[in-house]
Each structure stands twice: as C-alpha cells, then as structure tokens.
Structure 1
Amino acid sequence: MGAPLPAPEEVRAEFDRLLAQDAEAAVAYLHDLGASSGYLDEAAVARTIRWTAASPYGELEITINRSKPEKDPRAIAAAAARGAAADAPTGPSVPRCDLCWENEGFPGAPGRPAKPGLRIAAIELGGERWGLQFSPYAYFDEHCIALSAEHRPMRIDAPCLERLLDFADLFPFYFIGSNANLPIVGGSILSHDHFQGGRHVFPLMKAPVEREVALAGLPQVGCGVVRWPASALRLASHDRAALAHAATRILEAWQRFSFEPCGIVAHDADGPHNTLNPIVHREGALYVMHLVLRNNRADDAQPWGVFHPGAQLHHLKKENIGLIEIMGLAILPPRLARELPAVERELAKAARAGRTPQEAEALLLEREATAPHAAWAVSVLARRAAELACEDARAEAIGPVLREEVGGAFARILACTGVFKCDASGRAGWDAFIKKLG
C-alpha cells in the first residue's frame, strides 16, 4: 500500500469540515486519500481497455475491466437466497460482507480481502447514517459507493428514492443510482443496501425521449419513454417533491403490473419479479430521474432469466446486467483482454487464406482462448471477411471490426433486458402500463 492514512474518525471529521464549505473539496479529499494509500489502484484502472461503438440507440461505451473478477449470476442468486445468514462473520471482527463499514482498515481473513487503505466518510440520506467511499474498480471518473451504515438487504421503495434525491442535493455534480434488489437483474451484492455514483454522463442520459407520458395531477413533472433498448422512463422536474411522488407512483404500478404477451409476471410462487433501477442526476436546479423497468422471472426455456441475455451471448457477458451497464457502459470480464485479440488474429488469418466459415470454426474450437467465441466469430467472418483480411492483427490488438461487433453484441444484450421490446407486443405493453399510471 502507499502513504499512511489518518484514523477513520479523523478522516470523517475533516470530510465533514470540508463538506460544510464545499462538497467538491470534500469528495476530492476523500478520493485523494484513497489514491495516495493505494486503495484506489490507478495503475490497474489505467489498464482498462475502453472504446465506443455506434448503435441504433446512440454511442455505447465498452470496457474490459482487468481488475474486476467475473461472477456467475447463479452464485449471486444463491447468496441472495441464503440471506443475511450467508454473510455471517467467520470471526469476531470479520465484516459480514464486502460493503460493511467494518472493512475500513480490515487486515484480511479467509474469504475477505484486506482493505487497509479504505476510508469511509459519513453522510446522511433519508435521515439515516450512510457512508461514502470510492470504488477500487473505478468504472468511470470518481466512481463512488454510498452504503448504509446498517447491514441490511437492498430495497427499491419510496424511501430509497428519497435517499437518492438527498444524495443528489448533497453532491449535485455526481449522478447516483441503485442496482435492482432482485437476483438476475440485481448487482453482485444484494445483502447490503447501497448506491453507486460518480462524475459521468452515460449514454442513457443522452438518449432522446420518443414518447411523452402525461401523469395525472403532476403537470410539473415531465415524463417520457426513452429511446433505449432497456425499457426506461425519464422524469424531470424542478419540484423535487413532485418528482418523488411521480417516481413512487410508477414504482408501485410497476410492482403490480403483469402483461403476458411480453412475458411479464409481477408475482408468482417464486415471489415478486418486478423491480427497477432508479438513477438520479441534477442539471442545475432540474432533477432528472431515470427509472429502468426490470423483471427477474426465469422459466425452463430461459433458465438464465426471461430478460437476461441467453447462452449465445455468454461468451462475452454472463454476469447480471446491473446499474452501470443498463445505462450503456459495458463492463466486460478481464478474460476478454486475452481472448478477443486471439480471435482477431485467427479471423484475420482465415480471411487472408480464404477459409470457409466451417474451416475457421474448426480451428477456433481447437484453442482454449478462442473456442468460447467460435460460433460468433465465424458469423463475423462470413459477413466481414474483406475487412478482416485488411486488419493489422497484432498480438494485443482488438481491431475495428471486432470492436464494432462487440458493441453490436452489447446492444443486443441490453435489448434482452427490455421488458417491452421494440415490436408490436412491446408497444402494446407500454400502452397497457402507461394506462396504469393515471
């Protein structure tokens, strides 16, 4: 680790002093502490591979994060099903989960990483004590985490929406949002209530509204369906209380909504299925809230989730599609930093040699790094052989063709999450849901 840090209570006191004067200075102080201590590994963040890709929904952001381990969504769901007991400490001073405040300065234990450089500032959200820290994975600038002081499961409800708005008032230069609270569509940690935020404008925030929605009794709140592959509503108002009221109305209507033509079932023997990702940012005095509608139902035909990417896309992304990705920033697993250049080289050789897709597939299947991508790769070869033959396939390169194709695959992944698809059934589903909003 790097430079020694002040004690946690000293950090909290200094953060409070700065926050009373200038919120930007307060978060800069906390971020600088994490960087100087080595907790925020800026060298690892710099190794993240990033590019943008055009899509029918605007420019998407693609990253291969080399420091974040890949998780299986079934393991996440199993941990959530076990509940709080699964997070029981293995010793008297072992944190219950990776987000608990007890991680601050934790020396490490089996199954729990050491975090000697972590410091958490105290903030108040919804009249409760919450913490603010910065993420060591840093998916974007100043990627922060707000976490409840209490170890409790995530909930998406009216108090959650108020806490998000409180955060936006405290730090109007950051966006803030919540992962969904259910397996399959939720984040990687469902057992500890928390939000993610930071200094970033996501593709979802730039997408246009394609359909205005009037909310009865709330003329001061603009509402519309966003032109986006996931099913999203955008609310905007200068009146915070009215915005919160509108968002709560939409949340409660969605929690009860079923529409079988789209495969939407709100509740069955497995429990509730409808939830959402709420995301807030400020544009001066204007509050903007995105509500992305999510459903976590699974069935025999789609065991990974009716609204989760199917197995044909798992070579690129198997994990839950969480808050950050639903806004258009792909967080792809570190293995792709090795696998995609290998695919690139094999496709370039196949294109130059004039191999058939069948011949190329046989060669791709022979190698561990390329085998998972074989079916997808040969479809790319069949469509874009001439371009691939001209690519400079260097050892570490992911060329323009594969970058575009990965971007297209990410757009399809996002479309899988959409509860209302861009088709006749999806339009009918939107109509039926909007009627419920009154």
Structure 2
Amino acid sequence: MSAPLPAPAEVRAEFDRLLALDAEAAVAYLHRLGTSSGYIDERAVARNICWTAASPYGTLEMTINLSKPEKDPRAIAAAQAGAASISNATADAAQPAASHSTPPSPSFPQCELCWENESICRAPGRTAKPGLRIARIELSGERWGLQFSPYAYFHEHCVALSAEHRPMKIDAACFVRLLDFVDLFPFYFIGSNADLPIVGGSILSHDHFQGGRHVLPLMKAPIERNVALPGTPQVRCGIVRWPASTLRLVSEDRVALARVAARVLKTWQGFSFEPCGIVAQDADGPHNTLNPIVRRRGALYVMDLVLRNNRTDKTHPWGVFHAHEKLHHIKKENIGLIEIMGLAVLPPRLARELPRTGCELVEAARAERAPDEIESRLRACEGTASHAAWAADILARRRAELAAPTAGEYDPIHPVLRDEVARAFTAILETTGVFKRNATGASGWNAFFSEFA
C-alpha cells in the first residue's frame, strides 16, 4: 500500500528546503508526488498517439491526446469574459510571497488553475483534484505556484500559476516573471499563452505559464534574417524561420532583454498594416498580442516573441489568423503556446475517425473508386463525414501509396494519413502567421521595424 500523500503545507515546506539546495531535486520531488498519487496518469499518457513528421520548417511533433477534451474557442472566450466581470482580489493574495506556506483562503475554486483545487472538497470525502500538489515559488515579488500538468504533453510538462485568480495579461511584468522563472529553473523553458480570445490558450481567466524539460520544434528553428533595432546593442534580434511570425531576442543582459521585449510588445499592440490584414484595434477591441517564450543557453537568455492577432471578419468568423474552417475537421481549438511552438495537441475523436477514414481510403484505392465516390461514402457516416472532402483529395493525390501493401506492424492510422494530418497542422501554423512568408509579409515586417526608427 502506498504512503499517504503529504499535506499541501508539508509539500511546500519540503520543496522550499530542496529548492534552497538543488532546483533539480526540488522539481524531481514534486513530479514524483504527481506520478505516485496518480494525478499524472502515466498509463493514460502512454496511450496517447504520438508521431513526428517532416515539414518545411523542420520536424513537427504530433499527438492525439486521449485525456484532454476538445474545447470550442467561443466557449473559451465566453469563460474569459465571465471571469473578467468578477472581482478576484483576496486579502490573502495581497500578502508578501515569502510569508505563505498555504494557498489562498479556502473558497470554492473559480477555475481549474486556482490553488483551492488542491484541498477544497466538491463532495464529502472527495477533493477537487485528488493528488494535486502545488509548490510555492516567487516571481517578480509575487507568490506563484508550480505544479505539473496531468496531460503531460512532454517530459515534466509544468505549469506556473498565479496565487491570485486574475486574467491572463501579457505586459512588461510578464517578461520579468518569465526571466525569473528560468533563473530559478534554468533546465526548463517557460512561456505564456496570449491574453486574448482565439489566439489565447484554453484558460484565459487565470494568469499562468507553461514549460518543462523539452526542446520544442520552434526552439530548434534557425534565424533567417537578423534585425538591428536602434538603441539595443546588448540584444541580438532576428526573424525566426517559422510559419508563425516570430522574433528571437538573445542577450546575456536580462534587464536589457526585458526592456526590448516590452518595446516590441508596445509597438506591436499599436501596429496596423492593411496589406497583411493586420488591424490593431477596432470596435471589437484590441487585437494584437503575443506569445513570449524564454529559455537559458548557459549565460544567454533567449526569448521568442510570437506575434498574434485575433481579428475576425465575415470571411473568417473564427479568426483571420486562426485555423480556417476547412481545417476544423483536424483542429478548431485555439492554437495556444505549445502548438504555436510546433507540437500539435489534436482532439481524441481523431483516434476513432482517422482509422475509419484510412480503411475507406485503402479500400477505395485498391478498388479503383473515384474520389467523388469515396467522398459520398464518408459523408454518409457520422464518424467520417467531416473528413470527406479532405479524404477525397488525398485519394486523388496519393492513390498508389494507399493501394500498396503496408509493411511492418499494423498501424491503425495509415502512414499516409499521419503525413496528411501533419500537413494540415503545418497549414494551420501558417494561417497563424501575421506576416506570411511572401513579398507582402516581408513588406509587413519592414513596416513593423520602421516603427522602431
């Protein structure tokens, strides 16, 4: 029989003790508690369907996450709007960070990231999130928590969360907190979802970051164009060769780096450029924000800033720079921090739908059926209807590969479909780019940099 899980205050005390000695030992302790308690279900994580795929931007990582529910972007926006209308301040959250060994005052959690989830009962004898433990850290003088994600998109996928239930916000203070985090844990990367609907992550109502011990595809992408920003000699800047429009800042001087990042954010928040469809603000509110991502390379700090815009129009009601509707059969959720970095988190329904679609495609290829015939057959089945047009196009282009015998172990998802899903994800990432990789996009970058002159 396993030992009982230590109380939250005990966990925080032990984490504090270890952190003072060795940050690696501290996070190993916290992660071990998460796995031993079952909060991180390693067996469920192992059932996720994962593969890698080549793209014009390097190798992308694909996952069908069987434990994470698919969320509608409009429901996420509604949740943020509802949270913003509630006052979240508490006397406990206002106290100094170092004086606390317990979470905020015991009240019902307002979202999935609130510290109250650790101990508040939803029913007699049942905790809100059995097995959850949150360590205490300090970022920029504020009390924050550290926990590990139960979804575990990658090794030691961690979440840093504000002790105060307050909306996501990308600002100069956010950059400082991210830099503080990598000073505490230089072996992790850390980043933030954007703070606006559509381009934000799944929880916009509670300020938080995500990170972990993993090198995501964006972090491997090279600089394709160096940029000299006036008055910033300590900070190197360049455009990353990536489908989402990304600036990379590198410096040994974290103060200078944070200052340049704040300047980029302020400039981007006010930037409009009609040829690229970029409108900074209109009657619907502000549209420009970004994803900041920070890591250490020895003495160097590296910060990637992914420029985002959440504008909609009549042609693109889900978002001008969001996955267009023809791609929703693969992914219609917000493209948040982890995905913008090149790791696709795909809905669990695909684990059922793709094998069915693949079987139909293989049969059609071998029976020499026409693409319009397979499209009609797929539309007649609820589990494959959304993939019908996509599958017909695949059959027209890749009939010979589908008809060929497959070698090796049986794979429920045909290799051709794995490749085509990756192509669809690449197209989604390209859609998020505010400056497309063409002449118009290049002129947009130039116009943006001219704002710094």
Question: AA paired with 1:197?
Answer: G
Shift of 1:87: 9.7
Shift of 1:106: 3.5
2:232 alignment partner in structure 1? 218
2:12 alignment partner in structure 1? 12
Question: AA paired with 1:135?
Answer: S
Q: For the residues of structure 2 that align with 1:302 and 1:84, how far apart are their CA atoms?
A: 26
Q: 2:324 aligns with which of 289, 303, 310?
A: 310
User: Under a length normalisation based on structure 1, what TM-score does the superposition of the two structures give?
Assistant: 0.96
Q: For the residues of structure 2 that align with 1:391 and 1:401, how far apart are their CA atoms?
A: 12
Shift of 1:392: 3.7
Shift of 1:114: 2.8
Q: For the residues of structure 2 that align with 1:179 and 1:153, how far apart are their CA atoms?
A: 12
- The DSSP-based 3-state class of the residue aligned with 1:54 is strand
Shift of 1:125: 0.2
2:280 alignment partner in structure 1? 266
Question: Is residue 77 of structure 1 aligned with residue 91 of structure 2?
Answer: no
Shift of 1:81: 2.0
Question: AA paired with 2:420?
Answer: E
Question: Is residue 399 of structure 1 aligned with residue 414 of structure 2?
Answer: yes
Equivalences for residues 63-74 of structure 1 within 5 A? 63-74=63-74
Distance 1:299 1:87, change over 3 A: farther
- Please say if residues 173 and 199 of structure 1, whose CA atoms lie closer than 8 Å, have aligned partners that are also in contact: yes
- The DSSP-based 3-state class of the residue aligned with 1:108 is strand
Question: Is residue 408 of structure 1 aligned with residue 423 of structure 2?
Answer: yes
Shift of 1:399: 2.0
Distance 1:354 1:113, change over 3 A: farther
Equivalences for residues 166-185 of structure 1 within 5 A? 166-185=180-199
- The DSSP-based 3-state class of the residue aligned with 1:139 is coil
Q: For the residues of structure 2 that align with 1:23 and 1:167, how far apart are their CA atoms?
A: 11
Q: For the residues of structure 1 that align with 2:4 and 2:122, how far apart are their CA atoms?
A: 17
Question: Is residue 161 of structure 1 aligned with residue 185 of structure 2?
Answer: no
1:435 alignment partner in structure 2? 450
Q: For the residues of structure 2 that align with 1:223 and 1:104, how far apart are their CA atoms?
A: 41
Question: Is residue 418 of structure 1 aligned with residue 418 of structure 2?
Answer: no
Q: For the residues of structure 2 that align with 1:157 and 1:380, how far apart are their CA atoms?
A: 44
Question: AA paired with 1:418?
Answer: G
- The DSSP-based 3-state class of the residue aligned with 1:381 is helix
1:55 alignment partner in structure 2? 55
2:214 alignment partner in structure 1? 200
- Please say if residues 71 and 333 of structure 2, whose CA atoms lie closer than 8 Å, have aligned partners that are also in contact: yes
Shift of 1:364: 1.1
Shift of 1:391: 4.6
Question: AA paired with 1:272?
Answer: P
1:387 alignment partner in structure 2? 401
- Please say if residues 73 and 320 of structure 1, whose CA atoms lie closer than 8 Å, have aligned partners that are also in contact: yes
The unaligned stretches of length 5 or more in structure 1 are none
Shift of 1:269: 1.1
Question: Is residue 319 of structure 1 aligned with residue 319 of structure 2?
Answer: no
- The DSSP-based 3-state class of the residue aligned with 2:138 is strand
- Please say if residues 105 and 119 of structure 1, whose CA atoms lie closer than 8 Å, have aligned partners that are also in contact: no
- Please say if residues 358 and 417 of structure 2, whose CA atoms lie closer than 8 Å, have aligned partners that are also in contact: yes
1:35 alignment partner in structure 2? 35
- The DSSP-based 3-state class of the residue aligned with 2:161 is strand
- The DSSP-based 3-state class of the residue aligned with 2:122 is coil
Q: For the residues of structure 1 that align with 2:416 and 2:141, how far apart are their CA atoms?
A: 51
- The DSSP-based 3-state class of the residue aligned with 2:395 is helix
- The DSSP-based 3-state class of the residue aligned with 2:147 is strand
2:367 alignment partner in structure 1? 353
Equivalences for residues 60-139 of structure 1 within 5 A? 60-85=60-85, 93-108=107-122, 114-139=128-153
Question: Is residue 368 of structure 1 aligned with residue 382 of structure 2?
Answer: yes
Q: For the residues of structure 2 that align with 1:214 and 1:22, how far apart are their CA atoms?
A: 38
- Please say if residues 137 and 145 of structure 2, whose CA atoms lie closer than 8 Å, have aligned partners that are also in contact: yes
Question: AA paired with 2:195?
Answer: N
Higher mean alpha-carbon deviation, 382-391 vs 12-21, is at: 382-391
Q: For the residues of structure 2 that align with 1:59 and 1:395, how far apart are their CA atoms?
A: 24
Q: For the residues of structure 2 that align with 1:78 and 1:322, how far apart are their CA atoms?
A: 17
Q: For the residues of structure 2 that align with 1:232 and 1:210, how far apart are their CA atoms?
A: 11
- The DSSP-based 3-state class of the residue aligned with 2:136 is strand
Shift of 1:213: 0.5
Distance 1:117 1:425, change over 3 A: same
- Please say if residues 118 and 127 of structure 2, whose CA atoms lie closer than 8 Å, have aligned partners that are also in contact: no
Shift of 1:84: 3.6
- The DSSP-based 3-state class of the residue aligned with 2:243 is coil
Question: AA paired with 1:161?
Answer: F
2:99 alignment partner in structure 1? none
- The DSSP-based 3-state class of the residue aligned with 1:176 is strand
Question: AA paired with 1:16?
Answer: D
1:189 alignment partner in structure 2? 203
Q: For the residues of structure 2 that align with 1:38 and 1:57, how far apart are their CA atoms?
A: 37
The unaligned stretches of length 5 or more in structure 2 are 89-105
- Please say if residues 141 and 200 of structure 1, whose CA atoms lie closer than 8 Å, have aligned partners that are also in contact: yes
Equivalences for residues 329-340 of structure 1 within 5 A? 329-340=343-354
- Please say if residues 87 and 96 of structure 1, whose CA atoms lie closer than 8 Å, have aligned partners that are also in contact: no
- Please say if residues 68 and 334 of structure 1, whose CA atoms lie closer than 8 Å, have aligned partners that are also in contact: yes
User: Under a length normalisation based on structure 2, what TM-score does the superposition of the two structures give?
Assistant: 0.93
Deviations 1:106-165 (A, max 9, x none): 33369x983121000000001100000000000000000000001111100000000000
Shift of 1:400: 1.6
Q: For the residues of structure 2 that align with 1:285 and 1:358, how far apart are their CA atoms?
A: 58
Q: For the residues of structure 1 that align with 2:422 and 2:168, how far apart are their CA atoms?
A: 31
